[in-house]
Amino acid sequence: MTAQLLSIVIGVVLGVLAARKPNGVMSAFVSVFATIGYAVPVFWTGIMLIILFASVFPVFPVEGMQSVRLREAGVLIKALDILHHLALPAFTLAVIYLAQYARLSRASMLEVLGSDYIRTARAKGASPRAVLFKHALRNAALPILTVAGLQFGNLISGALLVETVFNWPGMGRLAFDSILRRDYPTIMGVLFFASAMVVVANILTDMRYRWADPRLRGKG
């Protein structure tokens, strides 16, 4: 879930910034970053981040969910320690989807910014910020919401590799260990839970459609 939020927020921001100047440096950077980020395997990204930020520059921990020496600390210290351990796994899993959302939001924003109602809003004297975020982004968000709902299942499957690389005790690691042990009941439970989460994600996506598109609010 953390990786999903990171990928959507950062990806949409990069896509919007790139769409403001389609021929600018930012747009070229987003295109190159999206191509590389989507093509690189998620486990390779995790290994490279471990080498860079845990070995060369020891900023983040290599594995686990929390430090052993802080297990008896207060609630706030524990929460910060878990977030510290979560940073690399979440960013690793978010990179591939972040690149996809950046490219999708850029293309969607470029299409919306060329519409007649955007030119009308500019002609009425609306500020560039209002045109970009109030008028354009809200209409460009529909494809992003669709992909976010559909990618939730892929996010769970990607977590299996990331949690194995970082030794993170999550659903992905549980599935991996269950496969090695041939623990079929646990595997079926993980698959059932993942399927239920995909269904819930699609229902929430349909509900968000009504927020993003006012035309759907009056329809039952």
Residues spanned by the domain of 102: 2-216
pLDDT reading at 218 higher than 70 = no
Place of tokens 């993942």: 194
Burial of 122 (0-12, 13-18, 19+ CB in 10 A): middle
CA gap 44, 41 in Å, rounded: 5
Is there a contact between 62 and 1 (Cβ–Cβ < 8 Å)?
no
Backbone angles phi, psi at 132, to 5 degrees: -70, -45
CA gap 42, 153 in Å, rounded: 15
Q: What is the tens place of the pLDDT at every residue in 7-65?
A: 888 888 888 888 888 788 888 888 888 788 778 888 888 888 888 887 788 888 877 77
The model's confidence at residue 91, banded by pLDDT at 50, 70 and 90, is confident
Is there a contact between 105 and 10 (Cβ–Cβ < 8 Å)?
no
Q: What is the tens place of the pLDDT at every residue in 151-188?
A: 776 676 667 778 888 888 877 788 888 888 888 898 89
The pLDDT value recorded for residue 214 is 59
Average pLDDT estimate for 201-216: 70
The one-character DSSP state at 66 is: S
Domain total in the chain: 1
Q: What is the tens place of the pLDDT at every residue in 124-148?
A: 887 877 787 777 877 787 788 777 7
The pLDDT value recorded for residue 161 is 78
The pLDDT value recorded for residue 212 is 64
The model's confidence at residue 84, banded by pLDDT at 50, 70 and 90, is confident
Give the list of residues 6+ apart from residue 130 with CB closer than 8 angstroms, or none: 121
pLDDT reading at 219 higher than 60 = no
pTM above 0.85, yes or no: no
CA gap 27, 12 in Å, rounded: 13
pLDDT reading at 220 higher than 60 = no
Average pLDDT estimate for 69-90: 79
CA gap 136, 171 in Å, rounded: 37
**Exposure class string for 174-212: b at 16+ Cβ within 10 A, else e:** bbbebeeeeeeeeeeebeeebeebbeebeeebeebbeee
CATH of the domain at 128: 1.10.3720.10
CA gap 79, 88 in Å, rounded: 16
Q: Bin 40: left if φ > 0, else alpha if -120 < ψ < 50, else beta.
A: beta
